[in-house]
């Protein structure tokens, strides 16, 4: 186990009835005090991983460790772990104080201590004035905060969050992302969150685990995942990425030179591999790293625009390079109204200084 690891999944597999593989020999170290997010499409294994940590699912093989202690066989309520569920799972017949203090009422804690801890937890989530309110009187965001308070009042070593913001509207969801990160930083508790929303994951995570078909594709901080995705899957799942089949031209110091048709590209490799001249590799290019000009210039390739999508300060241009390769370009929207239209030819180049990832399959 890594020196700062709090939780470890060790070769954890889960096979459901019918031979459906939920997890396939997953190894994962979760550091103490970090905000880790499990991210991926439906059926990738992220929720199964969370349930295995919580004890709601027993792995078919492998072990779950907490501070070097094997907790694989422990029941959920015997683990120092709490879960915030997607539907909050609040008791409608209880007021806010009773909901938050429910877990404490099952323990040998004095009434005065329970009341203090409930008050402190509600203060942390900004609901100290809702102590005696009924659940039915609360907004969606307030219910989410009550669920958080109920989870943290028992002082778990690990807090698990199963898509906790999915029921909120877009504006409130963004507010609660900030609140979640603020709360986690204040508590210093290890948070493990499941989401399929990449923007949410990128916004608040210290590290992100990208999962696909029961396996881990890549674990990295948000900026690394965005700038240096390791595989085609990660590149296509995180943000928008042009995946361009490109031929290798040569090496220029630390940079590898490629060309996708007539479009010159510069790529970086995390390995010492240098392709042979003429070999092809998949190069990932972000739309914001492509420039579109009305006039041809050195290092440009012509592309005919097939679609224009308004993105506020930018226009997303859908275009086709001369060899029929589809690309997406984010171009600044000009205040004078002069801009590209469907049918126009744009001359495309890689932004100066941009280095693109060379992707594995």
Check residue 339 and give its pLDDT.
81
pLDDT tens-digit readout, 169-178: 888 888 888 8
Decide whether 5-235 matches 240-359 in CATH topology.
Answer: no
pLDDT tens-digit readout, 66-98: 999 999 999 998 999 999 888 878 888 899 999
- Cβ atoms of residues 205 and 36 within 8 Å: yes
Between CA 178 and CA 172 the distance in angstroms is 10
Least confident of 113-117, 231-235, 341-345: 113-117
What kind of fold does domain 240-359 have according to CATH? OB fold (Dihydrolipoamide Acetyltransferase, E2P) (2.40.50)
End-to-end CA distance of the chain: 29
Check residue 108 and give its pLDDT.
77
CATH of 5-235, one of 3.30.70.20, 3.60.21.70, 3.30.2130.10, 3.40.50.300: 3.40.50.300
Between CA 40 and CA 57 the distance in angstroms is 19
Q: SS in 3 state form for 72-136?
A: CCCCHHHCCEEEECCCCCCCCCCEHHHHHCHHHHCCCCCHHHHHHHHHHHHHHCCCHHHCCCEHH
For 17-68, where are the E strands, in sequence order? 20-31, 35-39, 61-66
Mean pLDDT of 295-315: 92
Check residue 175 and give its pLDDT.
83
Whole-structure pTM value: 0.90
Check residue 178 and give its pLDDT.
87
Q: Where along the chain do its domains lie? A: 5-235, 240-359
Mean pLDDT of 299-318: 93
Percentage of the chain lying above the pLDDT 90 cut: 63
- Cβ atoms of residues 346 and 340 within 8 Å: yes
Percentage of the chain lying above the pLDDT 70 cut: 97
Q: Encode 289-308: b = buried (16+ Cβ within 10 Å), e = exposed.
A: bbbbeeeeeeebbbbebeeb
Between CA 339 and CA 333 the distance in angstroms is 7
Check residue 2 and give its pLDDT.
59
Q: SS in 3 state form for 170-227?
A: HHHHHHHHHHHHHHHHHHCCEEEEEECCHHHHHHHCCEEEEEECCEEEEEECHHHHHH
Best CA proximity match to 50, nearest among 18, 76, 19, 74: 76
Residue 113 Cα distances to 1, 107, 153, 154, 160, angstroms: 36, 11, 11, 12, 25
Check residue 268 and give its pLDDT.
79
Mean pLDDT of 34-53: 96
Check residue 337 and give its pLDDT.
66
- Cβ atoms of residues 249 and 257 within 8 Å: yes
Q: Is the pLDDT of residue 44 over 90?
A: yes
Residue bearing tokens 């992302």: 177
């Amino acid at each position: 186990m890594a020196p700062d690891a709090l939780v470890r999944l060790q070769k954890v597999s889960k096979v459901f009835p019918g031979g459906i593989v939920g997890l396939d020999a997953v190894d994962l170290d979760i550091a103490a005090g970090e905000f880790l997010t499990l991210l991926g499409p439906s059926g990738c294994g992220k929720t199964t991983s969370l349930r295995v940590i919580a004890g709601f699912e027993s792995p078919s093989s492998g072990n779950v460790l907490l501070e070097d202690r094997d907790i694989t066989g422990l029941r959920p309520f015997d683990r120092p772990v709490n879960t915030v569920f997607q539907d909050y799972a609040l008791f409608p017949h209880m007021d806010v104080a009773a909901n938050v203090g429910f877990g404490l009422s099952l323990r040998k804690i004095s009434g005065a201590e329970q009341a203090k801890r409930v008050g402190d937890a509600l203060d942390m989530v900004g609901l100290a004035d809702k102590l005696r309110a009924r659940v039915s009187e609360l907004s969606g965001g307030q219910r989410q905060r009550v669920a958080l308070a109920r989870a943290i009042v028992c002082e778990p070593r690990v807090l698990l969050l199963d898509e906790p913001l999915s029921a909120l509207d877009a504006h409130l969801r963004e507010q609660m992302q900030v609140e979640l990160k603020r709360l986690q930083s204040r508590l210093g508790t290890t948070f493990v969150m499941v989401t399929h929303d990449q923007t949410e994951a990128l916004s608040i995570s210290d590290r992100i685990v990208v999962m696909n078909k029961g396996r881990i594709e890549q674990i990295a901080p948000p900026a690394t995942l965005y700038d240096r995705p390791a595989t085609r899957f990660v590149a296509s799942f995180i943000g928008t990425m042009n995946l361009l089949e490109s031929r290798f031209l040569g090496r220029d110091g630390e940079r590898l030179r490629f060309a996708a048709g007539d479009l010159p590209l510069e790529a970086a490799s995390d390995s010492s591999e240098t392709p042979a001249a003429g070999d092809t590799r998949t190069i990932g290019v972000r739309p914001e790293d492509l420039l579109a000009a009305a006039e041809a210039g050195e290092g440009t390739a012509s592309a005919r625009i097939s679609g224009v999508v308004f993105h506020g300060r930018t226009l997303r241009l859908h275009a086709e390079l001369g060899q029929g390769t589809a690309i997406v370009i984010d171009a600044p929207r000009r205040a004078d109204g002069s801009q590209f239209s469907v049918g126009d030819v744009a001359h495309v180049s890689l932004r100066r200084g941009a280095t693109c990832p060379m992707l594995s399959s």
